[in-house]
Structures are given as structure tokens and as C-alpha cells.
Structure 1
Amino acid sequence: MKLLLLGATGLVGSRTLALALADDVFSEVIAPTRRPLAPNDWLVNPVGESLERLVPNLMSYRPDAVICALGTTRAIAGSKEAFRYVDYELPVAIGKMAHAAGVARYAIVTAMGASTRSMSFYYRTKGEVERDIRKIGFPSLAICKPSLIDGERNEKRKAEGAGLALLRVLGPALPRKFRVNPADAIAASLIDAVITGKAGCRWIYSEEMS
């Protein structure tokens, strides 16, 4: 199976890349990035200044499945528009291209609080990407909805850092769905979802990844 992985340099994406390259199920992993990744015999690594410049050619690699681990914050992106571009427009656009090219399996990471009716721009955007990815019509779709994600990031997210510290302390006393989700567990869920390819839309909730 050929896998197209989006967001391979992020917290979840980097773990997903490592798992995919170590799994014999995948004959090839296509991971477009802005900076070159470490070479690997099973890795195809298109490099460009921005992902959108690489998008038109991604289907030429003929992937069998797509995992979307793209994600940022408004603070890091610099504006609402830039955040929405990464977390909504790119996942949907690539999803439509993949579906048109005959890709049957798609998995994406959103968030536990995602809702189209949320007052939060972040969670509302996550809800909208869930809604519109479902409309595309993939035979097998997995939507991972983690709580706060635990792991070492390349960039600092102050609000998330404070929340993670608190949840690590309170974790044993909290219901499972409110505990932090290790990036490795989320990555494993994404990999399993595209390998098994269960029909329809599968929701993977926080308590399944704690």
C-alpha cells in the first residue's frame, strides 16, 4: 500500500511517519515537506517552499490511502485566515483530489471539542473540516478526535503547555476521555485506520487513544 502523509514534520505526523516506515504493509510513504526529511528506502519526500505548491502533483504518486495530520494554531499561523488555510482548506482540497483519483481510505486528526456550532474559531473550524471531509464520500474515513496531545513539539504552545501540565497531574482522577493523548497513540490509531480500511465513517475518540 502507498500512503500519502500530510503534516509529517508535526508532533503527530512525525510519529505517524516513523510507524509507517517501520510497517511492511506500506510499500511507499509519500511525505511532502518544506524541509528535507531523513532519507529512507521507503520514503518519497517532495520538498517545496509551501505545501500548496506541491499539492497539484501529489496524486501522480498514486497513493492508496491518505493520512492528514496537518494542524497549527492561530498564534503560530499569524491570522485566522492562515490558520483556516492549514486546518480546513488544505485537508478538504487534498481530500477532494484524492477521492477523484480513486483513493478509498482517508484518516484525519481534528479535536475532541470540534463542532460547527462552537463559539471558538478553532473548534468551529475543526467541526467544519469534519463535516466537509465526510461530504466527499470516501468509502473508508477515520476521524481522530484527541484531547490535548502529549509529546515534544518543535514549537511552543503556551496555552497547551499549561493545560498539559495540569492534565498530567489530574489524569488518574479524570474520566479517560479528558486525559491527555500521547502522540504515539494517535499515530497508531491513524495507521490502524488506513490499514484496516473499515467501511463508512469511523470516529476515534480520546478515550480510545489514552
Structure 2
Amino acid sequence: MKALIIGATGATGKDLLLQLLEDDAYREIHSFVRKDNGFRHPKLRTHLVDFDRIEQWAELVCGEVAFCCLGTTLAVAGSKEAQWRVDYDYQYAFAQQCYKNGVGRFVLVSAAGAKAESKLFYNRMKGALEEAVKGLGFECLLIFQPSILIRPKSNRGGENITVKVISFLNKLGILRRYKPMPTAILAERMRKEAATAPNGIHTFTLDEIFLK
């Protein structure tokens, strides 16, 4: 398969990209990024793009399956408006272009608790994106809703503390629905399901992602 990916410079995207490159089911991977990290591989095609101007690279969005791993935090974005632009606008525009160009399978990284009617900004944003992408009509749509992610060598102090706290509470049988998930496990499940899942809309909650 020919795969497309946005967000390949993030923790989940990095793990997914490396796995795709080693998987014989994927013959070619096209990564759309704002900055080139210099990584090269015979199967990889890296495209430097402006996510605010998707019309400039729309013709490159062609393949059998697309992976959407893009995302930021409120602290990094600086405002809710800026985070919405990355976590909703860019991703929905990419999904729209994928659908227009005949990409049959779309894989979206969402979040536990995603709900368009949520009073929490982050959950509402993720839920709104899920509903919008569902409305496009992909032959196969895979939505993954992990809890907080364990990112290798993460420098996000607050996130690292949260992972430790939740992991401790999990040992006491508390907050198991928010069990931290290594990005490599999430990436592995995304890669496998993208190649084997039947047509339709499939949503994978935390426990379903952990199950092989």
C-alpha cells in the first residue's frame, strides 16, 4: 500500500513512520511536514508543506491509506484558537483532501473522552473532529482514542508527572480507563488495523487498543 502521514515528527508519528518503513505491506510512505528532520529511507518521500495552504500540495495527497497523527498542546500552541487550528482545522482539511482524492482508508488519532458536546475544550475539539471526519464518507475510518501517552524521552514535565501519578493510581485499581499508553503500542495497532480492518467506521477505545 501507499501510505500518507501527517504528524510524523511527533512521538506517535515517529513510531508509526518507523514501523511503516519496516512493514512489507507498505511499499511507499509520503510524509507531509513543516520542517525536514533530515531522515531518509528508500521507501520515504518527505514533502515540506504549509498546512495553511493545502491547495498548494493537494495533488500529492494520493494513496490507499492516510494516517493523521498531528497534534499539539495548549501550552505549545499558546492559545485555544491556535490549538484548534492544529488539532482541528489542519487535520480536517487533510481528511477532506484525502477523501476528494480517493484515499479509501483514513486513520485518526483522537483522545479518550472525545465528545463534541463536552464542556472540556480539548475533549470537545477532538469530538468535533471525529464527527466531521465521519461525515466525509471514507470507505474505512479508524479512530483511536488513547489516554495520556508515554512518549520516549519526553521533555514535557507536566505530562511526565501525570503519567507517573496515573500509573500509581492504576496499581491501586483507580482510573484504569485512563491507563497511560506507550506510543509504540498505539502506532503498532494503527498500522495493523489499517491493513486488515473491514470497511466501515471503527472506534478503538483504550482497552481495545491494548488488546492485540
Same fold (TM over 0.5): yes
Helix, strand or coil at the partner of 1:32: strand
Helix, strand or coil at the partner of 2:106: strand
Residue equivalent to 1:64: 64
Between the two proteins, what is the percent identity of the paired residues?
Answer: 28
Residue ranges of structure 2 left out of the alignment (5+ in a row): none
After superposition, the Cα gap between the structure-2 partners of 1:99 and 1:197, relative to the gap in structure 1 and judged at 3 Å, is farther
1:39 and 2:35 are equivalent in the alignment:
no
Amino acid in structure 1 at the alignment position of 2:119: M
**Aligned equivalents of 1:207 and 1:68: distance in 2?**
21
User: What do residues 171-203 of structure 1 show as CA deviations (whole Å, max 9, x unaligned)?
Assistant: 333465321111011101211222114211001
Residue ranges of structure 1 left out of the alignment (5+ in a row): none
**Aligned equivalents of 2:202 and 2:187: distance in 1?**
15
TM-score, normalised with respect to structure 2? 0.91
Shift of 1:64: 1.1
Shift of 1:53: 4.4
**Aligned equivalents of 1:66 and 1:157: distance in 2?**
31
**Aligned equivalents of 1:145 and 1:187: distance in 2?**
12
Residue equivalent to 1:180: 180
After superposition, the Cα gap between the structure-2 partners of 1:44 and 1:55, relative to the gap in structure 1 and judged at 3 Å, is farther
Residue equivalent to 2:142: 142
**Correspondence 1:90-101 to 2 at 5 A:** 90-101=90-101
Shift of 1:58: 4.7
Amino acid in structure 2 at the alignment position of 1:62: C
Helix, strand or coil at the partner of 1:76: helix
After superposition, the Cα gap between the structure-2 partners of 1:11 and 1:55, relative to the gap in structure 1 and judged at 3 Å, is farther
Shift of 1:154: 5.3
Amino acid in structure 2 at the alignment position of 1:44: R
Q: Aligned Cα RMSD in Å?
A: 1.8
Shift of 1:157: 5.2
Helix, strand or coil at the partner of 1:161: helix
Amino acid in structure 1 at the alignment position of 2:150: D
After superposition, the Cα gap between the structure-2 partners of 1:55 and 1:147, relative to the gap in structure 1 and judged at 3 Å, is farther
